[in-house]
Structure 1
């Protein structure tokens, strides 16, 4: 089915969008124009929706709001927002009576006329996705970046040409219901995450696996040989399977010997050429190189590696003040992300601001790494006590090493960091937790932190 056929097929149908947010707002207008009878559902009140609510009223979209927003889910087509549990009883009942329960990204995959590169994983998704997009752009391709990063792509599908490239980041929430897979699938790694939403680790892994299960013989799959769960997917790959590995050679793929990156057996470049810091970013580059090899020239890859500054909120350098360097790693919403990211980047012990919303991820593995890499730990939010307990339970913990400070909010955290830091120190916001207890998302948290750091005298 092409785009025109799809939009013709929704004329006169009832379509509801569960969750009024970034991916659904432009879509609702599109469906209205196609002649669908559109409604929008959200737990928030009209006042809480703000400008979005007013815009939908002006469009003539029926609003179903409040705690009971999922009652009488009788529409022909139901779009769920990625954060909405796939197995909610209301959605299960809708499927049972024959409704089409779908999502913006599922429909995009069905209708997209160009090659799709898609990335998933527990850590490194956004940077790897961004590197792939940068590499393809540098090669002269017209790139459409979306999914969990950038903007929703389905509203723009009319402008996408067959010779273009779509580069998408996919979360487990998007993938759990996907029955289409991309031309090139990348799985960066897998570790416990989002266990507050998925019923168990196996459901999380199975959701991620959907990125490759529906591929064909002409597709490429890129897997992390150094991550046991990810590497185990190799037996289910239907097309060309590439591995990337930081520890040594792979038969087919991209690997690193500690100093240089190789593709198969040929040296591509020294890792010192990569501008963004950290071993995790060497892995992100290897994954991206495996994804685009054959579509992007080796010299283009080297040029991008030397010039690309990285992505906001990912070990992002904020400023240096009184000899202290401040970094924003607000994206580090899990313990593994902090361990493989911030705590692997710097040779000396750092001051680290951590804590936030509780996603029910175990913090025990974080404790020993913090003790070895952090001299002052500043804790806030719902997970503060769990992180403190994990640190104090570590075998290498000594009283006062690290020094642990408790604060109520980001203002106090930044003030405490500035007061305790000495010239030559590094301060990093590396929460190891989601932002939802104090902020709508990690971006708002990271920008607030940067604002406070930039305001220091």
Structure 2
């Protein structure tokens, strides 16, 4: 059923009763924004009062009601809208009942795009969102140094942009990372939309690959003829969605995708083609980021930057100097003769495979955690032929051992080891590593069997390596 559209006039929430599910970052941002708009806000969370004392302190200056320990359907009585934080599934009983009653399901990203006075570049994809968004933001900062334009970065990257809305001016530029969880609810698209790639992820949440693609496609669905879509042409699923666009399309890929506007690799150079003219960004060898996937991220950022007229000189400067984002092929240190890298963000086989492809050196791969029930066969067929050793760890060990043994058969290489947890995996790596090796944490799984999120897992890995 299509979600009802609400008006986007000022003060539309004044005096209205609204319910916000989830008291994490996005929920807290919604609480601050909606109370500021004069709404009567009820916050609901599955956690108990004892578990949320820090949140109560943080929001103590706001007039809020709380419903804790569950989301009873009675909350919907007299409610104008139901807001979901990013981690809250849209198929909860209360969300389904809200739909049935014609109560709109909304989120912080929807509200922000409705009210933001500045140009917004929205970025989504299965991999590379944060790196690409950070690149575009840095390019915008460098390109605006001599003007009064300010660049803003937020969204799913960890900073809800609703908190900044009152300070954003019409001449500014906003770079906004958007997840499938946010997009599935949205009935508005950014004027500049970046769709990087589409590979299996979050199928436990969306139910099928097609549902996941449909959620991601919302970044394009509500654009108009004056909008711009930047789409990865090397990814067939993403590139097929260009058929849903209404405005300008800029492509990016490792090969020249078409004769239209595009960012691509020409020989050893990254170039932009705009209105038939080629502009040099830099040489591949000048990039500080490793791997073909990061070449694509830089190309995507340049394509998006061109849509808002960021100078090519600014793109070139950032492409040459950008050293990456924590937990994404992050160099930790050299010890025991080897370079150790933290790629804790890799929570799917596809992301882990992209990391493995970034290295030509002998590779000791740390793989494991909580499996998302995604296919591992393609990963195994390539990686078992290319790495020196694999150290499996955590809850996924039995499944990964079975998959890899079936592929490897009686072959003796690569060496396979199993560890109970990440700490034991690091200790195993420290015993088998040799000078000139790369030790790579690129787990291919989530962290939930041992850590609350990939950031904490990456931080712990850093600490363990620095202690060797």
Matches within 5 A, 1:88-107: 88-107=92-111
> Which residue of structure 2 aligns with residue 168 of structure 1?
176
Query: C-alpha separation between the residues in 2 aligned to 1:290 and 1:227?
Result: 16
Query: C-alpha separation between the residues in 2 aligned to 1:283 and 1:420?
Result: 33
Does residue 115 of structure 1 match 2:119?
A: yes
The answer to whether the 8 A contact 1:276-1:309 is kept is yes
Matches within 5 A, 1:219-230: 219-230=227-238
Cα distance, 1:377 vs structure 2 = 1.2
> Which residue of structure 1 aligns with residue 434 of structure 2?
422
> Which residue of structure 2 aligns with residue 73 of structure 1?
75
> Which residue of structure 1 aligns with residue 332 of structure 2?
318
Matches within 5 A, 1:56-455: 56=59, 59-66=62-69, 68-74=70-76, 75-140=79-144, 141-252=149-260, 253-264=262-273, 266-268=278-280, 269-293=282-306, 295-340=309-354, 342-394=355-407, 398-455=410-467
> Which residue of structure 2 aligns with residue 31 of structure 1?
34
Q: 1:338 to 1:258 in 2, by over 3 A?
A: farther
Cα distance, 1:397 vs structure 2 = 5.7
After superposition, give the CA deviation of every residue in 1:260-306 in whole Å (9 maximum; x if it has no partner).
12222625121112111111110011111111115111221111111
SS at match of 1:191: coil
Query: C-alpha separation between the residues in 1 aligned to 2:435 and 2:452?
Result: 34
Q: 1:138 to 1:16 in 2, by over 3 A?
A: same
Q: 1:400 to 1:62 in 2, by over 3 A?
A: farther
Q: 1:234 to 1:249 in 2, by over 3 A?
A: closer
Cα distance, 1:381 vs structure 2 = 2.2
Q: 1:33 to 1:299 in 2, by over 3 A?
A: closer
Cα distance, 1:131 vs structure 2 = 0.8
Cα distance, 1:365 vs structure 2 = 1.2
After superposition, give the CA deviation of every residue in 1:177-210 in whole Å (9 maximum; x if it has no partner).
1111111111111111111101211110011111
**TM-score, with normalisation over the residues of structure 1?**
0.94
After superposition, give the CA deviation of every residue in 1:391-444 in whole Å (9 maximum; x if it has no partner).
2222x5654312222112222111111111111111111010111222111111
Structure 1 stretches of at least 4 aligned residues deviating more than 6 Å after TM superposition = none
Query: C-alpha separation between the residues in 1 aligned to 2:66 and 2:394?
Result: 34
After superposition, give the CA deviation of every residue in 1:61-88 in whole Å (9 maximum; x if it has no partner).
222122x334323132221012222233
RMSD: 2.1
Aligned residues: 452
- 402-411 or 208-217, larger mean C-alpha shift: 402-411
Query: C-alpha separation between the residues in 2 aligned to 1:407 and 1:50?
Result: 37
Q: 1:409 to 1:180 in 2, by over 3 A?
A: same
Cα distance, 1:315 vs structure 2 = 0.2
Runs of 5+ unmatched residues, structure 2: none
